[in-house]
Amino acid sequence: MELQSVSAEIDMLRGVYAAFNRREIETVLKSMHDNVDWPNGMEGGRVLGKAAVRDYWTRQFEVLDPQVEPQNFRAESDGRIAVDVHQVVHDNNGKLLVDHMVQHVYEFRDSLIQSMEIRP
């Protein structure tokens, strides 16, 4: 993978995390392929396509207040980008549910997010 491509993808991901934390769903969706493959961390399984991701996040934000802060980015040998993420999740009453590190791994196609995987 070219260094310039990786740099552009990392810059995109920084913006995606910031927009997600501001709950700007449509901004984040613009960075995704129409048929994006996304993990459903709240209910399990995966969601396919931008409409399904929008629906998932809409449900999620009704009951949870997640904040995700990228700490480190690195290119993997297969071309994906791995991001170490500090994830803090509260319920809508302010009760802390999760405060831990996870890893998000992104696959890109045509400079857009094609899929994301969550690793513990």
Which residue segments constitute the domains of the chain, with CATH numbers given?
Answer: 3-119 (3.10.450.50)
Q: Write down the pLDDT at residue 120.
A: 85
Question: For residue 112, what pLDDT band results from cuts at 50, 70 and 90?
Answer: very high
CB atoms within 10 A of CB 116: 22
Across 86-110, b (16+ Cβ under 10 Å) vs e yields ebebeeeeeeeeeeeeeebebbbee
User: Region 47-59: what's the mean pLDDT?
Assistant: 97
User: Region 55-60: what's the mean pLDDT?
Assistant: 96
Q: Write down the pLDDT at residue 116.
A: 98
Mean pLDDT of the chain: 95
Asked whether residue 2 carries a pLDDT value surpassing 90, the answer given is: no
Looking at the chain, the whole-number percentage of residues with pLDDT higher than 90 is 92
Across the chain, the runs of DSSP E, i.e. the strands, are 32-39, 46-48, 64-75, 81-91, 96-109, 112-119
| Gap between the Cα atoms of 88 and 97, Å rounded | 8
Asked whether residue 92 carries a pLDDT value surpassing 80, the answer given is: yes
| Gap between the Cα atoms of 31 and 46, Å rounded | 18
